[in-house]
Structure formats: structure tokens, C-alpha cells
Structure 1
Amino acid sequence: MAPSHFDPHPPSQDSGGAPILEVCRTLAARGHVIEFATLEGRADLVAAYPFASTAHLVSRAVTPSEDRQLYGKFSRWDSKTQRGRNETIECKKFYDDQTYLAGVHSMPSLKPKQDSLVLVNSFWGLEPAKDVPPLLQPVGPLLSDGYTPLNDTTHNFLNTKTSVVYVAFGTHVILTPEKVDRLMRGLCCALEQANQHPSWLILQYAPQRAVLDHPSTTLFVTHAGPSSANEALFHGVPMVSMPFHGGQIQHNLRPVAAGVAKGVDKAIFTPAQLASTISAMMVDSDGEMHIIFSSERSASLV
């Protein structure tokens, strides 16, 4: 069943922009002028950053109906089928057809090769090889020193478990009921294979950093978004990655190659395959669930 309320851009959250704004806080303290460009209706994203002198509105807001349709198509992103290819083109065409507001003529960030300093919340080794501007500087992973703590329910749940699989697909991924069914059956199967009684805690919002930092969290089933990958690596939690669209597909390549993640194809995975992928990372010869490679290996990458 589809959710009754859908907000792919919660007004108080911007997982992609927040780390860069923290860099801007430091630049502003050194005397640099910070200006922020966004869409109509999203200027409040910089309300917590008073050092931003101006918020430029460059284009109209995407309506809730358009958001829902676009992220539904993004989540079905598939280069192997004609429908997937068509919807990819439709999404690109939607953004290409957007026009600037009156008085806005161009954005420097849209230049093919920027001639200004470009700060990227990533690090060498996480990204696949690509052509970049000459003044690009990776400064990631940018993670706050503090984060939302666990509430009592989540804290008590984690404290009573020895091995927890944390499942989250970010803000933008929309799972079809059929994929949810396969995912849940795969997780149940993995627990049964490890002789563990299934125990679930389903949250509308999870304080991800706090969950990943808890010693009971031993595996992260993720969409491999850049923020989630950075956080998992920082906290030393291996991943089963199921990328859905866009940069997630590229971000999935390097953690898998480094041995800190195992990939699962969102389009064709079966419950049995998901269970065996989890078990391959977490089950020893005695059937006890645990991590087979050290958290230090993950953390050393960052």
C-alpha cells in the first residue's frame, strides 16, 4: 500500500546540502560571502545558517504531485527494460524543460568545467573515475560531530539485541509493495538461517547516525546513497547495497570493490538471494550472526 503522505523533501532536512553548508559556516567565519541558490519554497533550508547573506530562487518549486511521479520513476530506474529507459528519459526531459525565474539567466555551477573552487562531499576512492573540473577538491566525508540520539524505544530495542540488521533506503526511494514483500521475506529467511527469532522495530524516522554507531548494529541494508555510504563507512558498518537510481548506482561500485559491501540488484533479487547475501557477510560455521570482517577495515577507508 502506498503511503498516505509523501514528502521527498522534508522541510527541516536536506541530507545533501547540510554538510556543504557546514563548510560554508567555516568559510563565512574566515570572511567569505556565502550565497545560497535553491528552488521556490525551499529558502527556509538556510534558516539555521544566518551566515548565508542571500537565498537566490532560481526556478519554480516542483509540485508534490510532480515529486511523487518523478521519484516513482526514479525508483523504477532500469536500463535493462524499455520502460526503465523511457522513464529515465522522461525524468531528464522534465528537468531539462524547467526554466529560470524572471531575472535569472544562468548558474555558474552549470558550467561544464567550473573555473572556481568546487568542494565535494566525497573522497578519493569512493567515487568511480570521472572527468572533473581543475579546481575540484574532495572534502568528505563531512559528518557532524553531533547527531540525533536514540529515543528510549530504539535504545532499548538495540540494547537487548546482539546483532541487528538496519534497513533504510533514504528519503527518496519509493518501494513497490512487491519489492517490500520480497525484502521482508528475505530478511525473515536470513534470520531463520541464523537460528534467530525474528524481531522487528519499524520506525517512521530513524536517527541513522546513532543507529549505525550502536555496537549491536552489525549490517546496513541500504540504497547506497552518498550520505548513507559515508556514514556506514565512518561507523564501520558493512553494507548490503541495493542502489535504485542516479548516483546511487555509481556510489555502489567502490564499496563493493573494496569489500565493505555486497550488491543486490533491485530489479531481480529474490528473498533467497537477499538472505544468502546477508548470511555470507554475517554467519559463521556455528550459525551465529556476526560480522566476518572488522569494522576497522571500513573505517580505515575514510
Structure 2
Amino acid sequence: MALSHDVHPSRKILLVVTTGGFTHAGPVLEIGRALAERGHVIEFATLDGQESWIKPNEYGFVTKIHTMGSGPTHEQLNDHYRRMQAWDVRKGIEPTFISKSMFDSYWPQTYFSLKKIIEDPKTRPSMIVADFFVEAANDMHVEYDLPIAVVCPNWPPLQLPCPYIPGQPGFQLPGTLTSEDASMWLRFKNEMIILLDLPAIMRLFSRTRQMRHRHGVSRPLHKPKKPDYLIFVNSFIGLEIPRDLPPTCSPVGPLLSPTWDPLDTKCEEFLHNHKSVLYIALGTHIILPHKDVAKIIVGVSRLMNEGLVDGVIWAIPKTGRNDIDTSQSFNTTIKDITTDISLADMLGNKHPDWVFPFFAPQRAILDHTSTKLYFTHGGGSSANEALFHGKPMLSMGIFFDQTANTTRLVAGGVAESLDKFTFTSDEIYMKSKKILDSGKDGLYRQNVLRLQRIAHIAARRKNHAADLIEETMYDNELRFDKNGKELRPMHLQTADSRMSAWKANNWDLWTVSALGLVVVMGSMGFVTKQLWKHQQPILGNLHTLILGGWRLVNTSIVNRNVQL
């Protein structure tokens, strides 16, 4: 029997993505797709110019788009990506705060735009699903008792504390997984990253607090360690490290579209004519210095000379070519003839075994049988797609989750890592050869297949995300009375979130028990001390008592014998 609409009513759900690019929007939209398939009305709020993301053939389920003002300029984003490319987490996290402040500067327009949407009965949603950059969504949750879900690429920093995972997600040193295999020194250094930059962190918090005050919000940002809202992680256990989680948090990735762009004519022809292709894509916004580009070409050329690779597809957008010296030439083989070719000619696709598109249909390339190895920056979307399509990787993390993902991919046995500051041509050659030489039945292929199968199962969890959203939405609607008074807490929230630390951790019981033990032990000590202090009189009295008793018994026996 089908459920009635009273049991499973459709609702309006607002998806919100501001800064961060389409890699932030894609996962949010995939959750929206799962909710739309259940009959819910899906609307999308974003910054001006990003409406083009909602392609009718791909996201036709979005019924309305709300714009919330202009976003970062090209210059701001260029500065951000160059700053992050130069950032070395081993030297501290303060450089990231410049970018954080830039992105935070878009909070006011997002905050007031969302308020306008929510306060209008015609546009008010029943739920907000937001990218983790949209901190104004947390304010809507607090001010309007509106349930929200926040989508993160991995475990969020400063929330969901886990003592056996050192450091904070996004700020961990390369090679860090859990305390199980980490040395004490590595664990210590991970914790010190935050502590040493504490003054800079406090300055960032102060700037944020002042910005909020200027716009009439005196309340601090709502980010409890165990949140009273949903947190979805666009990853899966196998890539992400297992940890204890409250019911409000769940890994639901890989959040991938069920369809993808097909191969264009050039890539399709290239993959048809080459049977062992290396695909290189280091992110849309990464601008590699020329010396790094040259090192990659030299290392890959050695692979081609040995027949381990017979073709290369390297996607470099226009901005990514800004620092390349196109006049440099490289010694290469074309149709068994060794010759020199300029980088300008290579970028112009005049080498038959190299192709440099501005944009590549990544998932179609990764899905093709001719693609044997993927050289990636290890971003969340790239890692998810590579594992879903079953490809081993060279991973060179540039910043944030990319570094952590690289460590996880290596630990999972599906990748070799490169350090963006120290990698060499020889290292590219040796590590690629190590993967490619392992063959079809090698350990890399075994681990890739293992994680590919897990990823395909985990990809269904967008429906689990939709389940939790429906649960939270319906619970929120019916746990308040008609005057807005809360009748009961959120059904997924654990009780300790509403209790004092003393009670939640049973510290009060331990304190009372300890005091009781002190009293008992003290009493016993006092009694023992008194007994020891007065032992002679007590022993003397006891001796007299025993002796008197013995005489009495002895006298009785004598009298009885006389009578007999």
C-alpha cells in the first residue's frame, strides 16, 4: 500500500552554493536530484553569473534560481589560488586566513539574501542544503529554527573531535592518517600547527566578529562540536578515515552525477589510437610554474621512450598556461624519429602523442579503457571520480583536502605521492613505472578494483542523505507548538549535546564516588590510628577479660567435679 501524502508530504528545499566554484555545487545538486526524484520542489540560490551551472538537460529538476549578488573577482580568485599553491602547511596555516577573510567578505550579502527568501512566505523553504562555505546557512538555522544540511568535502575542522586522528582536517601534515601508525613526533607537530598559529586564529575570529557586529549580528557563528544540524561528507569510508560519528553526521559520497559529458572528437580519436594513455589534470585554477611543467614533460617522455605510455592527455585551461615559457624545446620521438619540438607546438597539439585541451571531459576519459594512469592534484571530486572509474593515480596535493586525500590514496594502495615543492622528473618516471609495471593483476590493480567496488556501493548513499533530510525536515515541522515553542529536541541529536560536560561525561558521578572513597578511606584511617594509639589499654582490658572468663570456666568445672 502506498503511503499517503500526509505521511510523506513534498516540501520546498533550497540548495545554496556561493564561492568555491562548481566543484562545490555538484555534490549539493546531486543531493537535490535525489530529493527531486521523491517529489520535493528544488530551488537553487547562488551568486550572480553562476546560474549557468543549472543546465536544463542536467539539472532540469531545479524549478527556480535565486541570485545573491556578485562574487569574487577574477583577480581575487587568481591571488587566492596562487597563494594556496605557494602555501606549505608545514610552515603554518596563517596564509590561508587571507583567503578565508576574502571569502568571508561575501557573508553579509548571502546573509541578507537568505533572510529575504526565508521571511517571504512565498519563498520560504522547509530545509536548506548548503555548501560548507555558506556560513550564513548556520545563521538561518539559529534565527528561524530552520533545519539545514551542510555538505563538506571531508570531515570539517574544529567539529566532530576525534582523539585518535591527529590535527585538523585540511591542516594536517603530509603522511598523517591516524595515531595508530603515526609517530609521537608527527602527532605532536600536527597538534602544534593550530597552537602556534593561535594568535593569527584569534585575529581572524576577531575580524569575523567585528564584521558580524557591523551588520547587526552579535551572536557568534553557530558551529557546535556535535552539531544540531546535518553534516554530509562527500567521501566514503575506504578513502575517508573511519571515525566515531553522531547521528547527525554521515559520509554520503561519492556524490557523482549518473551521467557525464561524452568524449569530444579529438579525445575520442586520440584514445582510440593510443592504448596506454596518461591523463594529467591538476585542477582548473592551478597555475604551474614553468619549471614544474618542464619536469613533468621530461619525466613523462622517459615513460613514453620505454613504451610504458604511448599517449598523454594534459588538460590545461587558459589561465593555467600563463607562466609557461612556450619557447623551450624538448627532445622527443615522433613516429620513431627523434627530434626537438617546442612547447608552443606541443601546446598547439602538433605532437601526435600529446594533446593539450583547455577543457577535457574528465569522467569520459577516466572511464575509457585506454587510460591507464591519472596524474591528479588529489581534490575530492577528482579522487572520487578516479576511484569510481577504477584508475590508479599519481597524486600531488596542492592545498587543503588535496594533501590529505593524497595520503589516503597512498594508504589505500591506489596511488603514489609527489610533493609539489620537491618532486623531480626522475620521481615521476620511477613512481609511474612502479604503477604501470604492476600490470593488470598487480597489487595496484587489486586495490583499485577493491575501492572501485566500494565506491559504486557508496555512490548510492545520496539516497541516505535524502532520507536524513526528510527525517530532519518532518521532525522539525512537528516538534514545535503553534506558538513556536520547542516541545522536544531534534530527534537525531544525542542527549550529551544538551547536557553539561560534567553530567555528559559522568564527571559528577566520578567526583562523588571519589569523595565517597576519600571519606571511607579517611574513616578507616582514623579508626586504625585510634586503635593503634590506644592499643596497650585495649589489649590490657582484653587480656583481663579473657583471663577472667577462663577463671570462671575453670571454677565451674572444679565445682561440678566436687558435686560428683
Question: Could you state the TM-score of these two structures normalised by the residue count of structure 2?
Answer: 0.46
Higher relative contact order (CA 8 A, sep 6+): 1
Equivalent of 1:94, from 73, 84, 102?
102
2: distance between equivalents of 1:111 and 1:200? 50
2:238·2:451 contact (CA, 8 Å) conserved in 1? Answer: no
Match of 1:72? 82
Match of 1:17? 25
Describe the shift of the 1:40–1:129 C-alpha distance in structure 2 as closer, same or farther (beyond 3 A): farther
Structure 2 residue 221 is matched with structure 1 residue 191: no
2: distance between equivalents of 1:47 and 1:278? 37
2: distance between equivalents of 1:200 and 1:272? 20
Match of 1:144? 257
Match of 1:234? 388
Match of 1:175? 288
Describe the shift of the 1:283–1:112 C-alpha distance in structure 2 as closer, same or farther (beyond 3 A): same
Count of residues in correspondence between the two structures: 284
**Superposed displacement of residue 144, structure 1:** 2.5
**Superposed displacement of residue 256, structure 1:** 0.9
Match of 1:9? none
Describe the shift of the 1:50–1:163 C-alpha distance in structure 2 as closer, same or farther (beyond 3 A): closer
Larger Rg: 2
> Could you tell me the percent identity over the aligned residues?
36
Describe the shift of the 1:37–1:253 C-alpha distance in structure 2 as closer, same or farther (beyond 3 A): farther
2:402 aligned partner, one-letter code:
Q
1: distance between equivalents of 2:245 and 2:69? 26
Structure 2 residue 415 is matched with structure 1 residue 261: yes
1:264 aligned partner, one-letter code:
L
**Superposed displacement of residue 160, structure 1:** 1.8
SS at match of 1:141: coil
1: distance between equivalents of 2:104 and 2:112? 19
**Superposed displacement of residue 86, structure 1:** 5.2
**Superposed displacement of residue 266, structure 1:** 0.8
2: distance between equivalents of 1:41 and 1:152? 29
**Superposed displacement of residue 243, structure 1:** 0.7
SS at match of 2:223: coil
Equivalent of 1:27, from 27, 35, 49?
35
2: distance between equivalents of 1:74 and 1:130? 28
Equivalent of 1:107, from 126, 132, 137?
137
Describe the shift of the 1:196–1:214 C-alpha distance in structure 2 as closer, same or farther (beyond 3 A): closer
Structure 1 unaligned regions, length at least 5: 1-12
Residues 100-139 of structure 1 mapped to structure 2, 5 A cutoff: 100-101=108-109, 103-104=112-113, 106-108=136-138, 109=150, 111-113=222-224, 114-128=227-241, 134-139=247-252
**Offset from partner CA, 1:94-120 (integer Å, 9 cap, x none):** 234444127357322574244233333
1: distance between equivalents of 2:83 and 2:374? 25
2:368 aligned partner, one-letter code:
H
2: distance between equivalents of 1:196 and 1:210? 19
2: distance between equivalents of 1:291 and 1:244? 31
Structure 2 unaligned regions, length at least 5: 1-20, 116-135, 139-149, 151-220, 311-332, 334-352, 456-564
More moved, 248-257 vs 30-39? 30-39
1: distance between equivalents of 2:49 and 2:266? 34
